Amino acid sequence: MVKPMLRYKYLIIWLITGTVILAYIIGNYYYYFGFTYPKPFALWVSDLYGTANAEDIADLEIILNFIVSFLAVSIFTFIFLVIKKKLNRVRADN
């Protein structure tokens, strides 16, 4: 019997790697994509986090980048797996 963690090791590795790479891209090359957080959202999160100086804002930006990256990688991976499963069913039916 395979342990569940080992069964999905490539998925876990992909989620971690994809999240880190996308967070790096969002954090360093956001101007290429025109990616910025909306001002009301940024102010709300800043108040919620309790930023006191620029270092706290930089920490908050890194946290938000990781959250956004994880959600994006997870959604695209889920869509890819659903499409792959449906294509395998169609292929098996033929």
Record the pTM: 0.83
Quick: pLDDT tens for 21-65. Answer: 999 999 999 889 888 889 999 999 999 999 999 999 999 999 999
- 91 pLDDT band (50/70/90 cuts)? confident
Question: Are the C-beta atoms of 23 and 69 separated by less than 8 Å?
Answer: yes
Residue found under tokens 């790697």: 17
Question: Is residue 80 a contact partner of residue 37, using CB atoms and an 8 Å limit?
Answer: no
Return d(Cα 25, Cα 29) in angstroms, integer. Answer: 5
**Where are the strands (E) in the chain, listed by range?**
none
Please report the pLDDT score of residue 68 as a whole number: 94
| Predicted local distance difference test score (pLDDT) of residue 7 | 74
Give residue 2's pLDDT band: very low, low, confident or very high (50, 70, 90). low
Position 61, amino acid: E
Tokens of 63: 């946290």
pLDDT single digits (tens) 74-86: 999 999 999 999 9
Contacts of 73 (CB under 8 A, 6+ apart): 14, 15, 18, 19, 22
C-alpha R_g of the chain: 18
